[in-house]
Chain A
Amino acid sequence: MIARMNAPLRKAESTFVETALDDETIVMHLDSAEFFSLNRTGGAIWRLIDGTRDRDAVVAALAAEFSAGAAQIGPEVDALLGQLRDAGFLDAG
């Protein structure tokens, strides 16, 4: 399935539990029991996935938060979104 790039990003809420510990956001898939540890940037991306923002809005918000350019941030966001989709944490757009 190919996700639409401009669709709002939504977490697959029923598939995971999460917590914050030290500077990390820890997400566990409930079926596989696999842990994902997100660093500060990854945790910020995770929080921005709120069902209203699409990929570009996430990049823009992150760029503003970290005072960085969208061109620099974009690949990082795409890489993490790919991992989150592969792991089943995101609803298909």
Chain B
Amino acid sequence: MTNPVTTAPADDLRERDPAEFLRRETVVRYGPVPDRIGGVAVAPGHCRLEGDAFLAHDEQMRLLYRRGEGVIVELMGESRPGDEYLYLNGSVYAAAACINGFYPIHASAVAHGGRVFAFTGPTGAGKSTLTAALGAAGLPLFCDDTLVLDLADPQVPLALPGHKRLKLSPDALELTGAAPREKVHPAIDKFYADPVGGSWPGPLPLAQLVFLEEGAAIALAPITGAERMARLDDDHYTADFFRQSAGLDAAGWFRLKARLAGQIGMARLIRPRDRTRFADTVALARDWIGGQ
């Protein structure tokens, strides 16, 4: 009897090194991209996820991701600087993550004590600004804007280190002391910036998800019970990608939220959007994370 020759299954890397797996899945090449997916035409300004593929289409480019085949980009006109990066690291990356069973959350995060502390809220809530400021307070950046969770281990949601560069508004640069790099996009008043506290390089368990809210008094309070599940009803487009990719019906979505609500601590950080109180907010968040 001969020894069987075994080859690593295609998804072995997915288990061993999920961040590297996703990086390889989203390698870009250039070539023709159809304007339809699954027989459905995708008009400019729209995108569509269909099975194991995702197509994004705007006036200047089409981008197609298909599982196991990477991303194909077709440039069709004068794209503005930054357009391609934003697509590749935004909707295309999120779709690729979802198609491969990862769960992206609209959050920015820092690392501390071998765990991840993430801040979430709608666009403009101050996620990037706060995490950048926490970097200056000694906590390395874990991710900006999108936190990708690997749910393969049923006991622990594992967060993957960020794939996006830190983006800050001029106001946030001033508040955090971060040095600006190039402008993100001609039409967006944000700049790329190097995280002051450095970046965390590897996956870590997600410890806390903190919801940013506005209020007169600065406070940080835990979220308990049913509200933890309700808070996971993220209205960001990535939640729709994930539900569609995972084929989750209402019951499946409920069970996933129940699982995450049971495994991730949650809190609300209430603070005034007042520059003069920003340092106090950062100090409270820093102390709270340090005490976890």
For B188, what are the chain A residues with a Cβ–Cβ distance below 8 Å? none
**A22 and B224 in contact, given A30-B251, A33-B250, A35-B229 (Cβ under 8 angstroms):** yes
Q: How far is the CA of A17 from the CA of B249 in the complex (A)?
A: 12
* Interface status of A57 (Cβ within 8 A of chain B): no
* Interface status of B230 (Cβ within 8 A of chain A): yes
* Interface status of A1 (Cβ within 8 A of chain B): no
Q: How far is the CA of A21 from the CA of B224 in the complex (A)?
A: 8
Q: How far apart are B279's CB and chain A's nearest CB, in angstroms?
A: 33
- Against A, the Cβ 8 Å flags (1 = close, 0 = not) of B252-284 are 001100100110000000000000000000000
- Against A, the Cβ 8 Å flags (1 = close, 0 = not) of B218-243 are 00000011101110000000000000
Q: A17 touching B251 by the CB < 8 A rule?
A: yes
* Interface status of A78 (Cβ within 8 A of chain B): no
Q: A21 touching B225 by the CB < 8 A rule?
A: yes
Q: B250 touching A30 by the CB < 8 A rule?
A: yes
Q: A26 touching B250 by the CB < 8 A rule?
A: no
For B255, what are the chain A residues with a Cβ–Cβ distance below 8 Å? 17, 19
Q: How far is the CA of A29 from the CA of B83 in the complex (A)?
A: 42
- Number of A interface residues, CB 8 Å? 12
CB interface residues, A 1-47, toward B, < 8 Å: 17, 19, 21-24, 26, 28, 30, 33, 35, 37
Q: A26 touching B226 by the CB < 8 A rule?
A: yes
Q: B258 touching A35 by the CB < 8 A rule?
A: no
For A30, what are the chain B residues with a Cβ–Cβ distance below 8 Å? 250-251
Please give me the residue from chain A that is nearest to B227 by CB atom. A37
CB interface residues, A 46-75, toward B, < 8 Å: none
Q: How far is the CA of A57 from the CA of B220 in the complex (A)?
A: 44
Q: A35 touching B251 by the CB < 8 A rule?
A: no
For A22, what are the chain B residues with a Cβ–Cβ distance below 8 Å? 224-225, 228
For B226, what are the chain A residues with a Cβ–Cβ distance below 8 Å? 21, 24, 26, 35, 37
Please give me the residue from chain A that is nearest to B261 by CB atom. A21
Q: A17 touching B224 by the CB < 8 A rule?
A: no
Q: A17 touching B262 by the CB < 8 A rule?
A: no
For B262, what are the chain A residues with a Cβ–Cβ distance below 8 Å? 19, 21
Give me 14 A-to-B residue pairs in the complex whose CB atoms sit less than 8 angstroms apart, sorted by A's number.
A17-B250, A17-B254, A19-B258, A21-B226, A23-B225, A24-B224, A24-B225, A26-B226, A26-B258, A30-B250, A30-B251, A35-B226, A37-B225, A37-B226
10 tightest A-B contacts by CB?
A37-B226, A19-B258, A24-B225, A22-B225, A17-B251, A17-B254, A26-B226, A22-B224, A28-B254, A30-B250
A21-B258, A24-B225, A35-B230 known; 16 new pairs, CB 8 Å cut-off, are A17-B250, A17-B254, A17-B255, A19-B229, A19-B254, A19-B262, A21-B225, A21-B228, A21-B261, A22-B224, A22-B225, A22-B228, A24-B224, A26-B229, A33-B250, A35-B226
